[in-house]
């Protein structure tokens, strides 16, 4: 999600929906129906985190079977993660932080990406490298809306997807900020609904999240 590498489907993943679901897939059989429910609720950009053994297979399944989903990979922390995710069909990449070597790998992947930041110096360093769209993580612990608002005046060219501790109650205050394109969260995927495979409830919660802005 650099200005030099826009998504082929959109100018920016930040603008696809107000909320990007952050998904941890434990059971591969859940991946496709979960993604279909999220898309039906109005949340097409889906970040599947690389935290489980089936994550890459989940990305592959969603990419193949849910054409209206814009599936991405999260918790990308190495060049191998980048290569494996893109090979599986990820259409964007999200990292919790960044290094020069990781940034190089993401730049070379040919898909939009959001490197993670939590300090002003990290933001400035990315702007210096031509990257203007970032993940702000962990949002609540790193200063929340007050911190992001304070970055707006000196660094107006930076746009963020805050993730980490955001709830339906706090999301609107983030989305009201000029430098926030969307937020990341998992509240539309409560553990009990996923365990019960209650995709109708997931779709309903996704619809509520999609209407936050």
String of DSSP letters for 57-97: HHHHHHHHH-TT-EEEEES--SHHHHHHHHHHT-S-EE-SS
Tokens for 68?
């209206």
Residue-level pLDDT at 5: 34
197 carries an active-site annotation: no
Reported as a single tens digit per residue, the pLDDT across 52-79 is 999 999 999 999 999 999 999 999 999 9
Task: Tell which residue, 57, 102, 61, 62, has the closest CA to residue 84.
Answer: 57
Annotated active-site residue 47? The verdict is yes
Residue range 171-177: mean pLDDT, rounded: 98
Catalytically annotated residue among 65, 128, 133, 135: 135
Helix (H) or strand (E) holding 145: helix 144-152
Q: Across all residues in the chain, what is the average pLDDT? A: 95
Q: What is the pLDDT of residues 28-45, one digit of tens each?
A: 999 999 999 999 999 999
pLDDT in tens, 75-104: 999 999 999 999 999 999 999 999 999 999
The residues near 78 (Cβ < 8 Å, ≥ 6 apart) are 102, 105
Partner residues linked to 133 by β-bridges: 159
Cα separation, 28 vs 210, in Å, equals 25
Q: What is the pLDDT of residue 11?
A: 54
Q: What is the mean pLDDT of residues 13-41?
A: 97
Q: Exactly one of 47, 65, 122, 203 is catalytic; which is it?
A: 47
Report the pLDDT averaged over residues 9-17.
77
Furthest CA-CA distance within the chain: 47
| pLDDT for residue 213 | 82
Tell me the whole-structure pTM to 2 decimals. Answer: 0.94
Q: Which two structure tokens, joined as six digits, stand for 138?
A: 């962990």
pLDDT score of 2 more than 60: no
DSSP state of 168: T
């Amino acid at each position: 999600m650099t200005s030099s590498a826009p998504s082929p489907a959109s100018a920016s993943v930040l603008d696809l929906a107000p909320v990007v679901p952050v998904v941890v897939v434990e059971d591969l059989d859940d991946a496709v129906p979960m993604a279909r429910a999220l898309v039906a609720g109005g949340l097409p950009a889906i970040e599947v985190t690389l935290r489980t053994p089936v994550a890459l297979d989940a990305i592959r399944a969603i990419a193949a079977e849910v054409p209206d989903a814009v599936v991405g990979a999260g918790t990308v922390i190495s060049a191998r993660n980048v290569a494996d995710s893109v090979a599986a069909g990820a259409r964007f990449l999200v990292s919790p932080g960044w290094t020069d070597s990781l940034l190089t790998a993401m730049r070379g992947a040919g898909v939009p990406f959001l490197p993670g930041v939590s300090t002003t110096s990290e933001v400035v360093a990315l702007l210096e490298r031509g990257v203007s769209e970032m993940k702000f993580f962990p949002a609540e612990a790193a200063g929340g809306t007050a911190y992001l608002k304070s970055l707006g005046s000196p660094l107006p060219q930076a746009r963020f997807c805050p993730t980490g501790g955001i709830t339906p109650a706090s999301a609107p205050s983030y989305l009201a900020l000029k430098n926030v394109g969307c937020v990341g969260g998992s509240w539309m995927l409560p553990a009990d609904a996923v365990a019960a495979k209650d995709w109708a409830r997931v779709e309903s919660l996704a619809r509520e999240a999609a209407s936050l802005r």
